[in-house]
């Protein structure tokens, strides 16, 4: 089995297949659970109430309760209720979510003044983008300085570490008191959640710059500021770029928390609202949209990164670079230091 060798990349012709399987397998499981009646279906969806007065068509009953009602009705020689096996409402089948995915964009919000889904998404992206940009604006320089000058790192990092352990949502009420109830406190929470981690991660990356490069630069006459600007920053830029990619993922986590602070907004508001109406297909649709946005952002950034920092990789043809990008292992978070042997 060439496909299952320890620590060996599968042959190229299988990679696209594996990539497809990565999404097809979860989808297949979901479909099986949704469409094969005997697999799970713990409830019964009533199609005809029969003689039972309190049952209405469309109601979902647990199997045991339904069986009890049927027994009671047959014992009393009355028409028993009729139904078909069904999943609970919170697990809609894939086609319903697919329909919702389309419908969510075309259906007007139920309440006047509520946002359309695309407006919610734009608002979420705005929150996360502003929050992440503000965080990066301060965290990257601070992290680089901390990584380059150990004295400064000893002066700042203990405190940064201390604050990092405080959960950002705990500052929710405080942020509302300071920034009001609209977009500002949400951005502030994304900043709080991202900033401190970003400082530490950036400083750590800067510290991993090969000291031999610094020594070489020093023997060529580079000192302090020039050493930082001309050697440290360019040497760790690809890794910083990758750190940023990963941290954007963290920012999405804080986004969901941030959006329930103050006036609920964005995609989280949409999800909560739809859950309230028990439109779980819409809830799934919104969650999938978040996933798609995240995946797309990450892939685009990864592709741009490979273009920007080609010196970290061996030069490959354009098509191979594209295919390699598409089917490269997804758990590789950093550029390999040496050209990979693939």
Report the interface residues with other proteins, using CB under 8 A. 210, 212-213, 215-222, 226, 230-231, 234-235, 237, 309-315, 339
- Nearest CA to 322 out of 10, 25, 16 is that of 16
**Residue 261 three-state SS:** coil
Minimum gap (Å) between residue 150 Cβ and other proteins: 16
- Nearest CA to 109 out of 273, 220, 309, 328 is that of 273
Given the complex with other proteins, which of 70 and 222 has the nearer CB atom? Answer: 222
Minimum gap (Å) between residue 153 Cβ and other proteins: 21
Q: How far apart are CA 233 and CA 227, in angstroms?
A: 9
Taking 3-state DSSP, the helix, strand and coil percentages for the chain, each rounded to the nearest 5, stand at: 70, 5, 25
Q: How far apart are CA 211 and CA 231, in angstroms?
A: 10
Minimum gap (Å) between residue 242 Cβ and other proteins: 15
Given the complex with other proteins, which of 237 and 293 has the nearer CB atom? Answer: 237
Given the complex with other proteins, which of 151 and 220 has the nearer CB atom? Answer: 220
Given the complex with other proteins, which of 177 and 216 has the nearer CB atom? Answer: 216
Given the complex with other proteins, which of 96 and 235 has the nearer CB atom? Answer: 235
Q: Cβ–Cβ contacts within 10 Å for residue 227, how many?
A: 16
48, 156, 174, 190 from 261: Cα distances, Å: 44, 29, 10, 11
Minimum gap (Å) between residue 221 Cβ and other proteins: 3
Minimum gap (Å) between residue 307 Cβ and other proteins: 14
Minimum gap (Å) between residue 313 Cβ and other proteins: 8
**Residue 327 three-state SS:** helix
Given the complex with other proteins, which of 48 and 210 has the nearer CB atom? Answer: 210
Burial 238-269 (b: 16+ CB within 10 A, else e): bbbbbbbbebbebbbebbbbbbbbbeebbbbb
């Amino acid at each position: 089995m060439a496909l299952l060798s320890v620590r060996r990349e599968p042959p190229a012709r299988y990679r696209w297949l594996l990539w497809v399987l990565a999404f097809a397998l979860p989808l297949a499981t979901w479909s099986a659970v949704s469409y094969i009646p005997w697999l799970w279906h713990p409830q019964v969806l009533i199609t005809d109430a029969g003689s039972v007065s309190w049952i209405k068509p469309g109601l979902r009953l647990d199997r045991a309760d339904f069986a009890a009602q049927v027994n009671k009705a047959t014992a009393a020689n009355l028409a028993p209720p009729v139904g078909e096996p069904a999943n609970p409402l919170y697990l809609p089948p894939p086609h319903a979510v697919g329909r919702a995915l389309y419908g969510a964009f075309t259906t007007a919000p139920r309440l006047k003044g509520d946002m359309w889904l695309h407006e919610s998404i734009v608002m979420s992206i705005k929150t996360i983008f502003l929050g992440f940009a503000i965080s990066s604006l301060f965290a990257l320089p601070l992290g680089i300085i901390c990584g380059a000058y150990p004295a400064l790192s000893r002066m700042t990092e203990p405190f940064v570490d201390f604050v990092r352990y405080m959960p950002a949502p705990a500052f929710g009420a405080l942020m509302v008191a300071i920034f009001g109830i609209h977009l500002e406190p949400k951005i502030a929470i994304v900043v709080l959640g991202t900033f401190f981690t970003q400082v530490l991660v950036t400083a750590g990356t800067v510290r991993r710059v090969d000291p031999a490069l610094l020594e070489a630069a020093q023997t060529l006459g580079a000192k302090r500021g020039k050493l930082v600007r001309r050697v440290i920053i360019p040497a760790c830029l690809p890794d910083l770029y990758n750190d940023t990619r990963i941290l954007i993922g963290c920012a999405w986590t804080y986004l969901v928390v941030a959006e329930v602070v103050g006036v609920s907004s964005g995609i989280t508001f949409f999800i909560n609202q739809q859950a309230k109406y028990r439109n779980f297909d819409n809830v799934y649709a919104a969650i999938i949209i978040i996933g798609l946005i995240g995946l797309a952002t990450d892939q685009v950034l990864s592709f741009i990164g490979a273009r920007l920092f080609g010196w970290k990789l061996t030069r490959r043809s354009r098509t191979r670079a594209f295919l390699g990008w598409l089917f490269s292992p997804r758990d590789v978070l950093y550029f390999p230091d040496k050209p990979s042997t693939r």
